[in-house]
Structure 1
Amino acid sequence: MRASGIGVSRAYHFLENEADSRQNIGFIRKDVFKKLYKESRNMSKLKHGDANKLMEILTNKGMSDPSCFWKVKLSDDGRLQNLFFRDTRCLIDYQHFGDVLSVDATYKTNKYDFICVSLVGINHHRMNVMFGLGFLLNEKVESYEWLFSMFLQAMYHKEPSIVFSDQDMAVMNAVDSTFRHASHRLCQWHINKNAVKHFGKLNKDPCFKNQWFRYMNGCESEHEFDMTWSRMIDEHDLSENRWLF
């Protein structure tokens, strides 16, 4: 309705009538004004300033690095929505170490509130290597699917064997729909961070917490992990804790 020239107040009044009451809409008129103001502020700045400079930088990068790959997604009115970039170094590292891919979407840019998504792996020295970088305007499944599709295109459609991510549902759904042959696993750091919510009284038990972190980090095989995990469950009588058992 906004794109058709209908004012916010009239559009909101229409929603009130369609939903029978304001309480059924799920947000108030003030929320609409705040969201539209934020979008127009960010998008207008991107259109007239930094986005054009970014395109210039990427174009120059492509001239000095012929294997450089970058793609952008624009809105209907030509404004920047999503961006993906990788250089030749990213491609070479992925060719050698691309069996495991970690998706980190925990950072945002300060000025425009874009989601910064780093696509990272680990080399033979156990050091992080960058496979690519994305900037997304929102955290919808469609945005992540676009990013992962561009990543596969940039890597000549070579899929990783394993993809690690946090428990964000949009990321998880996009991973499952885009990487058809990869196994999806949750990042251990996020598991550890989330686990304390399920420990209950065990948060005050230093012996248990030491065991937990030792089991999560010290096992070198699946068999060893299964054995030590079962021992922890038995020792602390955790068979009723459905999250742990």
Structure 2
Amino acid sequence: MLKQDRELSMSIRRTIENNEETGIRPSKTYQSFVAAAGGHRELNFIKKDVRNYITREVRNVSEQEDAKKFGKYLLRMKEKNQNFFFELQLEEDQSIKLAFWADARSRAAFEYFGDVISFDTTYNTNRYNLVCASFVGVNHHGQSTLLGCSLMKNEEIESFKWLFQCWLRCMGGNAPKGFLTDQCASMKRALEACMPTTIHRWCIWHIMKKIPRKLNGYKGHADIEQEMSQVVWNSHSKDSFDRNWNDFLLNFGLADNKWLSDLYEDRHIWVPIYLDHHFWAGMRSTQRSESMHSFFNKYITRNSSLIQFVKQYDNCLGSREQAERESDATDFHTVIPCATKSSIEAQFQEAYTHAKFREVQAQFRGKANCITRLKNSALGYSVYEVGEQVSSSIFNKFVVTYDSIAAEKVKRRHTHIKSSHDEPLMEPRSKRFDQLVFCSQNICEFTSESEELTAILHRAYDNVMAEMEALKAKRNGTSSLSHEDANLESINELQSLPRIRTRGRPKNRLGSKLEKQIANATKKKKTKVLSEINLFDASSAAHSNSSQYQGHVMNYQFRVPAAGDNSLGV
């Protein structure tokens, strides 16, 4: 197929743009066109044309315009909802150093789900190598919920301090009870300064993942890894952990290992037995933050612009909001039956969401192996001694305090607040095209039910096309725009004139059509005079001896001879 014969129609362009925004790869987009058309030969473009359109039109955002578009996005969100929050810290050259934003729904959700926060950073999300950091909580369905996002130029202590203080201002100055991060020293110091009352916890998954790399040089490193995991996970008290840890170091000759020594010094912020008596919303790692980042990484690359990044953040917010609404609807319309006749289970059934009630039911199934005995009860609280039968002769004993005060269903204010989603800034023609396509889909679906309806639509289509072509021909491609009827949409439709390439020095002025006609007529007259003069010169050469006639010729060199003037002697 020749290049001049290849063309992307508006329908194709809009499909490419929508697929690109939702993370569908160009190759998949092209294959969908092939399937819809019935084969490669039915298309008047190739896969390369799709890729070129994405590169040149969809992703083509200059560095100078990118920061401005990012700032305009934040302002648009603020205009839509005054509770949208953002702050920027700029360099001396006005480039972005730090940025933080959170929509109104995230701020309201923090009131209910801000007890524990997972915080993590990720890279390669934009062309400027800005680090992406996200604040993630857990909602009443056990789902991850976004509570703010940030872009950072570096990971210095002062940068994290600015970010944490900014986030606290956004959330009304209320610090969370628990905060999970990786082992970044800058995060640790910034948290100690900004949230001194918050319990800081390191992601245990990151620590355990480092064991092979840190201890690979020791003999029997596989046994070392297995024994360390046993000590970390199976110590049932702080004293037993300390004893087991010392025995582990002595048995494998690891007493001088600095990495293990540093971990032991910080055991209060990563070992489960030191932390599990606090509420952590089921989290021991920053996996929820990493899962959120993996969502971003499906749609953005290290070459993505800032405006592309915030669009995908919008998509992530929308998907999280939709998942929560679907779960709320399921909880409202359905009921999970109780597995026992226990009044305690019935209370959880009434107060908890389906996801959390299933966790409670798992505990009730395990209760079949337990023997409970009431020790005391007062002011609505009951203390039970629980013995769990592990084997025929072994019991593990626990003390459980139960709050018998009936829990009320909570009306969560944030569920009535929509996420601040940015509307695509499309050209007016693209908007009209999308609206027409949406309407035509309903018509086509209704019409395709029978041949008779299809024939009616074809006749209507032919009549409408004839009417529109007649109107277009009548206007002859021209229109007017005055101060009385002009608006922003009509101004946005104005197009630049095609560039005219000229040779040599341009003229001072273009001149009107009439002036060009006059100039052409004058040029023709001058050409006629010169031809007559040349004829006269030829005849005058035959009478060169007549001085009187020669002088007369000089008088008539630059005027048109009058009719009937015989003085020339011709």
Q: Is the 8 A contact 2:231 2:244 kept in 1?
A: no
Aligned to 1:134: 150
Q: Closer, same or farther in 2 for the Cα pair 1:224/1:171, shift >3 Å? A: same
Aligned to 1:204: 222
* Residue from 193, 196, 199 that aligns with 1:177: 193
* Residue from 182, 199, 207 that aligns with 1:166: 182
- Which has the larger Rg? 2
Does residue 66 of the first structure (1) align with residue 77 of the second (2)? Answer: no
Aligned mates of 2:166, 2:73 — CA distance in 1:
19
Aligned to 2:236: 223
Paired residues in the alignment total: 195
**Aligned-residue offset at 1:211:** 5.9
* Local SS of the residue matching 2:236: helix
What is the one-letter code of the residue matched to 1:109? T
Q: Is the 8 A contact 2:109 2:147 kept in 1?
A: yes
Q: Closer, same or farther in 2 for the Cα pair 1:226/1:113, shift >3 Å? A: farther
Aligned mates of 1:165, 1:112 — CA distance in 2:
24
Q: Closer, same or farther in 2 for the Cα pair 1:170/1:53, shift >3 Å? A: same
Question: Which structure dedicates a bigger proportion of its chain to strand?
Answer: 1
Q: Deviations over 1:160-196 (max 9, x none)?
A: 1122211222222111111121122211122122233
What is the one-letter code of the residue matched to 1:123? N
What is the one-letter code of the residue matched to 1:203? H
Q: Deviations over 1:37-86 (max 9, x none)?
A: xxxxxxxx65x221110111111112223211111111223222110011
Q: Closer, same or farther in 2 for the Cα pair 1:132/1:226, shift >3 Å? A: farther
Aligned mates of 1:228, 1:124 — CA distance in 2:
33
* Residue from 51, 55, 77 that aligns with 2:71: 55
Aligned to 1:36: none
Aligned mates of 2:155, 2:99 — CA distance in 1:
13
Aligned to 2:458: none
Q: Deviations over 1:186-229 (max 9, x none)?
A: 11122122233344344323xx645655765x66xx83686478
Listed as ranges, the gaps of 5+ residues in structure 1 are 1-44
Q: Closer, same or farther in 2 for the Cα pair 1:204/1:148, shift >3 Å? A: same
Q: Is the 8 A contact 2:131 2:154 kept in 1?
A: yes
Aligned to 1:150: 166
**Aligned-residue offset at 1:240:** 4.2
Aligned mates of 1:106, 1:226 — CA distance in 2:
37
Q: Closer, same or farther in 2 for the Cα pair 1:81/1:212, shift >3 Å? A: same
**Aligned-residue offset at 1:151:** 0.1
What is the one-letter code of the residue matched to 1:195? I
Listed as ranges, the gaps of 5+ residues in structure 2 are 1-61, 265-570
Q: Deviations over 1:6-61 (max 9, x none)?
A: xxxxxxxxxxxxxxxxxxxxxxxxxxxxxxxxxxxxxxx65x22111011111111
**Aligned-residue offset at 1:157:** 0.5
* Local SS of the residue matching 1:96: helix
Aligned mates of 1:128, 1:100 — CA distance in 2:
11
Q: Is the 8 A contact 1:145 1:174 kept in 2?
A: yes
What is the one-letter code of the residue matched to 1:223? H
Note the 1:19-168 alignment, pairs <5 A: 46=63, 48-168=64-184
Q: Is the 8 A contact 2:179 2:200 kept in 1?
A: yes
Q: Is the 8 A contact 1:166 1:186 kept in 2?
A: yes
Matched-pair identity in %:
28
TM-score of the aligned structures, taking structure 2 as reference length: 0.31
Aligned-pair Cα RMSD in Å: 2.8
**Aligned-residue offset at 1:121:** 2.0
Q: Is the 8 A contact 1:215 1:225 kept in 2?
A: no
Q: Is the 8 A contact 1:233 1:239 kept in 2?
A: no
Aligned to 1:187: 203
**Aligned-residue offset at 1:159:** 0.3
Q: Deviations over 1:95-138 (max 9, x none)?
A: 11212122201334331100111111223333222111100111
What is the one-letter code of the residue matched to 2:164? F
Aligned mates of 1:128, 1:202 — CA distance in 2:
39
Q: Is the 8 A contact 1:72 1:83 kept in 2?
A: yes
* Local SS of the residue matching 1:61: helix
What is the one-letter code of the residue matched to 2:128? Y
* Local SS of the residue matching 2:69: helix
Q: Closer, same or farther in 2 for the Cα pair 1:94/1:226, shift >3 Å? A: farther
